[in-house]
Structure 1
Amino acid sequence: MYTSEEVLRDAAATALLAPSIFNTQPWRWEVRDSALELRTDRSRQLAVTDPMGRMLTISCGLALHHALVALAAEGRRASVERLPDESDRGLLARITLAGVTEPADVRLRDAISRRHTDRRPFAETAVPDDVIDRLRTGAEARGVYLAELHADSLVRFQVTAARAGELDADDPAYQAELAEWTHRPADTRDGVTPATAVAPTPRKVPLRSFFPAGAEGLLPGPGHDGGARYLVLWTTDDTPADWLAAGEAMSAVLLETTASGLAASPMTDVVEVPASRALLHRLLDNLGNAQAALRIGVPATDEAAPPTPRRAAGDVIDTDR
């Protein structure tokens, strides 16, 4: 029979598979007094790319949702306090167990280990509309809105993505930070590896270049993103609470995408750069604040995208014993 502490620790261990900006994995988990606390790890914040901590908080929101999915799949009802202590900005959430229930979200839990960011172009096959409907429902359940960029706005989105890439390429500080997180020693178990990156290739909307000097190891495959669909997660406000909610919504979208047999890759560069973020804001008709953009589609090959490295549970999860 598992103790509450063991159940919570297992959920935190599952959450280590959540994606994060530059695969920084900027979180810490603490099991304290039968509660699981999620904290930011500011030592892993990207000072140039993410000076406000928006993407750090979104990354932690992804991990939070992963942990909650793991608990629900085990039939554990969880109570969550988000940003519970105004005097402790590093504490993002506190999870406590609130009883036993029927297992839920099992298909999403099973998708956690299969989900990998796929930067290869997708096939020409269209993504079904009912999948988009499920993604929108999952996001809105967390107070986050999902907008799709249709043909009339895709040209402007292409310009937005290209502009973000140009601004990054011209910023020596950004390039130094990118190099730091794409040339990591193997024993750090983090960062973006060449095996997961694809060299620039013809596609509808350009993706971030992680290795400007050329070191990508993943072949692009036969697709050209003809059937890809482009989504933006946005919130009405722009506070840390909104960033955390956006991360949870992004996790729900990514896991549902995987469970539906599709693939996805976040496009966070269009949100990180202020100029491109402003352009994206106009694409949303100035309705709200863009927190993340996603490219989803049908894989063009049966070969699964490679996983990125993950830190060991003992390096990330603290247990009060």
Structure 2
Amino acid sequence: MAGYADADLRLAAEAAVRAPSLHNSQPWRFRLREGAIEVLADRSRQLRVADAGGWAVRIACGAATCNARLALAAAGRPADVLLRPHGDLIARLTPGRPRPATYAETDLAAAIPRRFSNRRPFWPDPVPSEIRVRLIEAARAEAAWLDLLVGATALNAFGEIARGADRVLRRDPAYQAEFFGWAHADAAPDGVPVAAGAPAVEPQDLLPQRAYSERRRAAGRDFEPEPLLAVLGAGADRPVDQVAAGQALQRVLLTATDAGLATSLISQPIEVPPAREQLRRSLGRSGMPQIALRIGYGQAGHPAPRRPVDEVLQPDS
């Protein structure tokens, strides 16, 4: 197959920008170089306090790479992907052998514009076992693992770790200032709209919540007494493992969206190194946790805003 063209780059980028990123910072760029589509880290949008080491940038760019792959495959232009995080270059997509899209690729690509983080309380309806298996298999298909936390002991252990990590982050004035810099009360092409935040946390809540606003919920109502929680991880913690985990995360999120589920991400236990190690030990894993998720059924909402695609396309240098 001949190299990709400008139209392929735009198609891939339009899907890629729908990926999740910490505080919706959108730390990516895309360019066409020698017939290949390259996914690049945009270091100007890296969170200097929350993501000094670049973990969140690599997760986000990995998720964007997954979306780009799926969009190209659904259009009959499948890509061979080389993950090579070095400097700003994260991944390189070259044309693969032409073939029809699989049913899975078509369904997941169709879910891209419908996926968004839902921070509101989910309904108590349980997630069926067959869908849970699909989520685990989605992570495994990208060489990652997904542990679903079952039972009060596992949930309480995770909740304690997550709340402890959240307290550490809240005590850091620089972290808090950076966080509030990405929370917007009005329309903006990035960051998180205040209206999309969860109600303010209450003492009895199992999980911490980002304080986008002081909106309260009805007195005495639990946020989620028994949520379905999952931890996604990789076999190691090198930059390439983090990019691969980002691809796995997006495949899990799209699989959940395709199944009619709502999701949101929990990163506090990953952002605080001692909490991350404590989480790893609690799971009995040799690999490293990369992100945690809430999964369930919830009311409809809307995706967070994205920058125009033209702003993330970089000319070949």
Structure 1 segments, 4+ long, off by >6 Å, are none
Letter aligned with residue 102 of structure 1:
P
2-structure distance, mates of 1:184, 1:50 = 23
- 1:317/1:217 Cα in 2 relative to 1: closer, same or farther (>3 Å)? farther
- The Cα of 1:228 is off from its aligned counterpart by 2.7
Contact 1:195/1:216, CA 8 A, preserved across alignment: no
Q: Which runs of 5 or more residues in structure 1 are unaligned? A: none
Instruction: Give the letter for the 2:242 counterpart.
Output: W
How do residues 234-273 of structure 1 correspond to structure 2 at under 5 angstroms? 234-273=233-272
Is the 1:126–1:227 Cα contact (8 Å) retained in structure 2? no
Matched with 2:279 is 280
Q: Secondary structure at the match of 1:100?
A: coil
- Displacement of 1:306: 2.3
SS at match of 2:119: coil
Q: Structure 2 unaligned segments of length 5 or more: list them.
A: none
Q: Which residue of 2 aligns with 1:90?
A: 88
User: Counterparts of 2:214 and 2:154 in 1: how far apart (Å)?
Assistant: 32
* 2:301 maps to 1:305: yes
CA distance in 1 between partners of 2:182 and 2:294 (Å): 22
Task: Indicate the residue corresponding to 2:165 in structure 1.
Answer: 164
Structure 1 match to 2:134:
134
Distance 1:8 1:217 in 2: 44
- Do the aligned residues in 2 keep the contact of 1:184 with 1:191 (CA within 8 Å)? no
Give the letter aligned to residue 56 of structure 2.
Answer: M
Q: Contact 2:9–2:32 at 8 Å: present in 1 too?
A: yes
Partner of 1:208: 209
How far apart in 2 are the matches of 1:30 and 1:216? Answer: 41
Correspondence list, 1:14-163, <5 A: 14-83=15-84, 88-104=86-102, 105-151=105-151, 152-163=153-164
- Alignment partners' CA distance in 1, 2:190 and 2:39: 19
Task: Give, in whole Å, the separation in 2 of the partners of 1:131 and 1:174.
Answer: 36
CA distance in 2, matches of 1:185, 1:44: 20
CA gap of 1:98–1:34, structure 2 versus 1, over 3 A, is same
- Counterpart CA distance in 2 for 1:32 and 1:215 is 47
Give the corresponding residue for 1:292: 291
Partner in structure 1 of residue 192 of structure 2: 192
Sort the Cα spacing of 1:66 and 1:216 in 2 relative to 1 into closer, same or farther, 3 A: farther
**Alpha carbons of 1:30 and 1:216: their partners in 2 closer, same or farther (altered >3 Å)?**
farther
1:3-38, Cα deviation, whole Å (9 max, x unpaired)? 733123211111111111110000110112221001
- The alpha-carbon distance between structure 1 residues 7 and 238, as it changes in their structure 2 partners (threshold 3 A), is same
The question of whether the paired residues in 1 share the 8 Å contact of 2:81 and 2:94 is answered with: yes
Question: Do the aligned partners of 2:78 and 2:98 also contact (CA within 8 Å) in 1?
Answer: yes
SS for the counterpart of 2:78 is strand
Offset, 1:192: 1.2
The alignment-based identity, stated in percent, is 38
Aligned pairs, how many?
309
Shift of 1:217: 10
Q: For residues 246 and 261 of structure 1, what CA distance do their matches in structure 2 show?
A: 23
The question of whether the paired residues in 2 share the 8 Å contact of 1:82 and 1:94 is answered with: yes
Change beyond 3 A, Cα 1:199–1:10: same
> Aligned equivalents of 1:319 and 1:128: distance in 2?
46
TM-score when normalising by structure 1: 0.89
Q: Distance in 2 between matches of 1:177 and 1:13?
A: 27
Q: CA deviation at 1:167?
A: 1.0
The Cα of 1:191 is off from its aligned counterpart by 0.7
Secondary structure of 1:122 counterpart? coil
3-state SS of 1:318 partner: coil
TM-fit CA distance, 1:275: 2.8
| Kept in 1: contact 2:228–2:295 (CA 8 A) | yes
Q: Does 1:5 find its partner at 2:3?
A: no
Counterpart CA distance in 1 for 2:186 and 2:124 is 37
Cα distance, 1:210 vs structure 2: 3.2
Please tell me the residue identity of whatever aligns with 2:74. A
- Give me the whole-angstrom Cα distance separating, in 1, the residues matched to 2:159 and 2:216: 25
Secondary structure at the residue paired with 2:96? strand
Per-residue deviation, 1:293 = 0.4
